[in-house]
Structure 1
C-alpha cells in the first residue's frame, strides 16, 4: 500500500476508536501520532531497503517481533510522559499499517509475501506463489478476489485516502493548529 492509503486507513481507524472510546473526535497530539504511526514502518524499512541494508522495503519495522518491541517502548514512554492516548493512536496506526500491507491473496489462503510479518523466524520468500494453506469460505473468495488485481487494489487506496482526509477535515483538522503553533 502507498503512503496515502496507509494514512486513510490509520486515520479512519483512530478516529473511530476515539469516538468509541472517548465520545469525541481525536485530539491534536494523538491525531498527529496516528498520522506518524501510519508511516512509521515505511520510514524505517523503505530507505534501508533502497540503501541495500535490507533486501526489500518490508523487513524489520514490518515484523511482528519488532512491532512488539516498539509497542513496549512506546507505552513505556507514554507512561513516563503521561501520554497514553497518544501512544494508543500511534500503536493503532502502526498495526493498521501492517494489516494494510498484507496482500489480499493471503485472505484467500496464499501466504506468499506475508513472510515480512514473521521476520526473523521466516525468511523471504518461504512460501511459493501457488502454495495455499487454507480454503476460505465462498463469500470471502467472492469479496476478496477482485482486490487481488494490483490495479484494483491501487484504485481502492484513492477512496480510502479521500475518506481519511474527509474524516480528518470533519474532525476539525486535528493537529494542524498544533503544528502551526510549534513553528
Structure 2
C-alpha cells in the first residue's frame, strides 16, 4: 500500500494536471496557486472512522481563515473502493452535515477512480471529469462557491464543456492523465 505522502502527491498531481490542467474547475487555479487547498489522507478503515476524519477536517476549516485554507481534499485510500458503496456513503455525509450544523456552510463533493454519472455507461468519457486516483471527499466552503458563481460568466456550461474536453483526449493523453485507470 502507498504511504500517505505518496497518496497526497498523487492527489496533488491529479489536481494540477487534470482538474486545473484541463480547466475542469475554473475556480481551482487561484486557491491552488495561493496554497489554500489542503490535501489530507485518512487511515480510516471503516465508515465511522471516515466520518470522524471528515469531522476533523471540517473542524480545521472552521478554525482557519478562508485566506489560509479555502478547501480540503480528503483521500480515503483504505475503504470505499466500490463506487456504489462510496456513492451510498454520501447519504451519511448529508446527514452528518445537518447534524453538525454545517449544511449551508459547506458542501462535500465526490471524486472516485470508478466515478460514474447516473444513466451513463461505465466507459463513458464524461465520467473522467470526476475520476480521481483515490476515493476523495472535497470539502468546499459555500462562500467560495457563491463568489465563484457570481464572478463566472457561464457556470451552467461547465459540465458540457468538461465532458467535451475529456472526450477529446486521445488514448495517450488519457493514459498520461489517468494512469491509475490503466494499471
TM-score, normalised relative to structure 2: 0.32
Greater relative contact order (CA < 8 Å, ≥ 6 in sequence) = 1
Return the structure number with greater strand share. 2
Return the structure number with greater helix share. 1
